[in-house]
Chains A and B, each alone.
Chain A
Amino acid sequence: MTVQDVIDRIAETLQVPPEQLNLESRASDFDAWDSLGTMSLLLVLTSDYELTVPQGETQKLLSVRGIVELFERAGRLS
């Protein structure tokens, strides 16, 4: 899985064009990335990729970089 794959999956989940997202994108930049959008991302990470987000670290779900870090930490990035 590449960083671009992660970005594409975030875009698909939030239903925003992938070209609008990059590594520096943050939740506050997108209306669709509200609390429901964040929880939708969490569901995708846990259900489809079987990633765990440690308690107290859900703030990572508020930025592309944070989500990429979760994949990286789990050894899922190539």
Chain B
Amino acid sequence: MNAYLHRVHYYLPETVRTNEDLVKLNPTWNADEIFRRTGIRQRHIAAPEETSGDMGVRAVENLLAESGINREQIDVLIFCSQSADYYIPATACILQRRLQLSKSCAAFDVSLGCSAFTYGLWMARSLILGGAARQVLLVTSDKMTQYCNLHDMVTAVVFGDGAAAALISADEQGALAMIGPSVLGTDGRGAESLIVPAGGSRCPRSAETGRVTADANGNLRNAEQLYMDGTEVFNFTLSTVPAGIRRLLAEIKLEKEAIDLFLLHQANGFMLDALRRSMKLKPEQLPIDLAEIGNTTSASIPILIRRLLDRGGISPGMRCVLAGFGVGYSWAMTYLTIQESPVSFLQHGS
């Protein structure tokens, strides 16, 4: 028994926020400097009334429209997000109804950010190999911009909104890739380096948590908005991601030179360049594709995969290592081998 990634699709909101838009709001910022620091020119922004669930539905509908999958056959729906529609109930339950999935479909939310897609692949594969499921719909969707203060350069320039959907199946026919082993990890000591401090039960919202203050660098935010210690997160990334990838390569008994593509969470251009340098990879081994969409957190890896497919950047037989890492801290690396004849998908993707 194996598990296969069949199809991937995504949705990005129509509205974009360019670096120039941010400079209009922050006259001391510089659009070229933002690009130099992040590799990002613009990011997509969900409409005020548009939720992560809404974006997830759009991504799934895009996927279903080209796949002809029978909704009745989907027996698990995993919805991964850090910006769910409600505290209660799980957004996955709402999506089960909106997507007209079977009532026998198990549906649950997973609260993870940038590691969500690779965690989701690991969960889906485990369910399939364990015989608990045959068709798993994995939805990763985040509206991170709702947490960002537009006057906080650490977060406002990086994050964008978006959603992705992937079908993971026990059936090999028509599959894009076989899902291999994963290595996963967690280090809760990093929880406070990337956090929305207020709004949960630890620190409920109040007049005080809504009060905006400036940090030492002049960035504005309140306690209900996203705080990111960029240097600490970068330090975590440099120490954890190469090590996690080495663990995975040891498990699958391959050298890094044998890997065609390292498909990493698209955090920011500087960080990905640094990882490329740190791991001594060729530029073509580690694609960077966030200039037009920014960091879409949980959706970034499947969006990268789909956009590479659409550009012909993924070929039959390729060996790929996926790496999701971030908030938590949490990380997961997964091995994928592109099928030798993923004909139907590549035709759709071309």
Contact = CB atoms under 8 A, between A and B. Distances in A.
Partners in one complex: yes
A38 B278 contact: no
Nearest to B33: A36
Contact of A42 (B37, B187, B229, B234): B234
Interface string B199-236: 00000000000000000010000000000011110111
B239 A58 contact: no
Given A53-B235, A55-B232, A43 B278 contact: yes
Given A36-B270, A43-B277, A58 B217 contact: no
B132 interface: no
A52 interface: yes
A35 B37 CA distance: 10
B235 A35 contact: no
Contacts of B231: 35, 38-39, 42, 58, 61
A2 interface: no
B274 interface: yes
Contacts of B190: 55
B315 to A, nearest CB: 30
Interface residues of B, number: 19
A61 B231 CA distance: 9
By secondary structure, the A interface counts as helix
Interface in A31-78: 35-36, 38-39, 42-43, 46-47, 52-53, 55-56, 58, 61
A38 B270 CA distance: 12
Nearest to A38: B231
Nearest to B190: A55
B238 interface: yes
B189 interface: yes
Interface in B177-197: 187, 189-190
Contacts, number: 43
Contacts of A56: 189, 232
A35 B189 CA distance: 22
Contacts of A42: 231, 234-235, 238
A55 B278 contact: no
A58 B232 contact: yes
A61 B230 CA distance: 13
A47 B241 CA distance: 13
A58 B277 contact: no
A47 B234 contact: no
Contacts of B232: 55-56, 58
Contact of B278 (A35, A36, A47, A61): A47
A58 to B, nearest CB: 4
Interface of A: 35-36, 38-39, 42-43, 46-47, 52-53, 55-56, 58, 61
12 contacts: A35-B231, A38-B231, A39-B230, A39-B234, A42-B231, A42-B235, A46-B235, A46-B278, A52-B239, A55-B190, A56-B189, A56-B232
Interface of B: 37, 154, 187, 189-190, 217, 229-232, 234-236, 238-239, 270, 274, 277-278
Nearest 4 A-B pairs (CB), nearest first? A58-B231, A47-B278, A43-B274, A39-B234
Given A35-B230, A58-B235, 7 more contacts: A38-B231, A43-B278, A46-B239, A53-B235, A55-B232, A56-B189, A58-B231
